[in-house]
Amino acid sequence: GGAVNILEIRAKLNNVEIVGSQNRIDARTNNESKNISNIFLKTISPTGIVHFEFAGGSTSDRLSGGTTAGATTAPSITVSIIKVQ
């Protein structure tokens, strides 16, 4: 139940969105845990700055800093950067 809340994450390189990095889910229940995963390729120079942005469709959407409902793992992000030769 509940209203549809669209949650999105995207990666940016030097403040420009990386094409193919955006991903979204529709969370229909409050306090429901969701996983977002994505794979994309981008050439990054040694001085490039990569950051990630999270956005929600409601002012109440947020990343919680703690565990809820007996969970043992706090919300987190894992990023792998692989040098291709």
Residue 10 pLDDT exceeds 70: yes
| Alpha carbon distance 34, 36 (integer Å) | 7
Is pTM beyond 0.85? Reply is no
Highest mean pLDDT range out of 3-7, 24-28, 57-61? 24-28
CB 3 within 8 A of CB 60: no
- Confidence (pLDDT) at 1: 47
- Confidence (pLDDT) at 26: 79
Residue 74 pLDDT exceeds 90: no
| Alpha carbon distance 77, 58 (integer Å) | 21
- Residues comprising the chain, all counted: 85
- Confidence (pLDDT) at 38: 85
Q: Quick: pLDDT tens for 48-73.
A: 999 998 887 777 666 666 656 666 66
Tokens 């800093």 identify what position? Answer: 65
